[in-house]
Structure 1
Amino acid sequence: MMMNLFSSFDPSTNFNTSMNWLSTFIGLVFIPTLFWKIPSRSSILFNKIYLSLHKEFKVLISNTKCQGNTIMLISLFSLILFNNFMGLFPYIFTSSSHMILTLTLALPFWISFMIFGWLNNTIHMLAHLVPSGTPSILMPFMVCIETISNIIRPGTLAIRLSANMIAGHLLLTLLGNTGSSLSFMMINILIITQILLLVLESAVAIIQSYVFSILTTLYSSEIN
């Protein structure tokens, strides 16, 4: 049994090396190459996923001046998706469960959106601080609330992704550590439970990558 339940999220515990952060780039191996004349089934699947994401992001952005942003957001979705799935394999470090990675992804996007919005659409950004129909007496409070909610956006994005990854992995680790003290019948039940949780974590890996990218798209649409 582990000395610390959270030690599975420490990069230095897995094989005692700092090279575990390279697991972030292992997912690039699974991206199908475009060097073949006849596309494979995996490349066709990826193209369908990317085209559907492109249509959704394009509708949310809805600005002809921001063409090409969907490529950046699809790349963000792919990076988070591969990192989440890599963490489900044994002896592979889960980089998306750390605030270092999630905040590194969320903070630059938020800063770039704020700089672009305040420099190009200042009046529009000021109008967002006071919702329409707000009474005059509540306007100062609404400005404070909207400013605080805008500032904490990168933190909520980062915490949402890392917390969901940590919660599922902790549950799998906690149940797995109890296997040595169980009977044969209980071990069979434990294995079935672990498989069901693994399927649930696979769904969470897809959902969280989609939520992160779609919220980033919604934040970018507010500056136009």
Structure 2
Amino acid sequence: RIAEDLADRVSLARELAAAREAQQRGLLLEDRARIARDLHDHVVQQLYGAGLDLEAAAADSPGAVAERLGSAVEAIDEAIAQVRTIVFALTPQDGGAPTLRHRVLDLAGGASRHLPQPVAVSFAGPVDLLSEGALADELTASVRELLSNAVKHSGAASVTLSIVAADARVTAEVADDGRGIGDAARRSGLENLRVRAERLGGAFDLDSSPAGTRARWTAPITFPEGDPTT
């Protein structure tokens, strides 16, 4: 009887702990969703309005001033893109597998912990249509390898990562301002990147020098109704 009571109490304690954890998770998700809405509805709109005002001012300004205002507009556009990326990362997922965007942001966040400043991430095109399947898995693995090379071998202070889906292709590009990639890194990880791309009918290109490295991984996008392998 004592053993049964003890088991019941342990079971109840576990249920209460699970309920508290679920409640805390729900509150956290609600808070993240609220922050995402505020960023989208207020911050992005204010930045967009400021950019329009600067564009109008540039049109009525002399050459040198107009050029500086144009640079400010470009900086605002970049800030808007970064805020939208943050908004997407904060938005709770509706179950299922993580999107490609979330997977890439998780990798960038992990790499950022080992760099002087966070990895600057940008997306263009319908990248979230590639959330599942071999292409998404290979691209994610390749991004992980590219970021790992930048962190381990480059000594970079600044790293950028872009994912672009356009013209029936997806491209991942990582650039850094480090000292370049040595021969040891080229023999293993970079060969894996090339194999991953070519296996999907794509390509891998690398431009590395003592001034920095730019690596570009690309592969064709295929869908079930237009898959060239079928």
Q: Higher Cα Rg: structure 1 or 2?
A: 2
TM-score by length of 1: 0.26
TM-score by length of 2: 0.26
Q: Which has the higher contact order (CA 8 A, sep 6+)?
A: 1
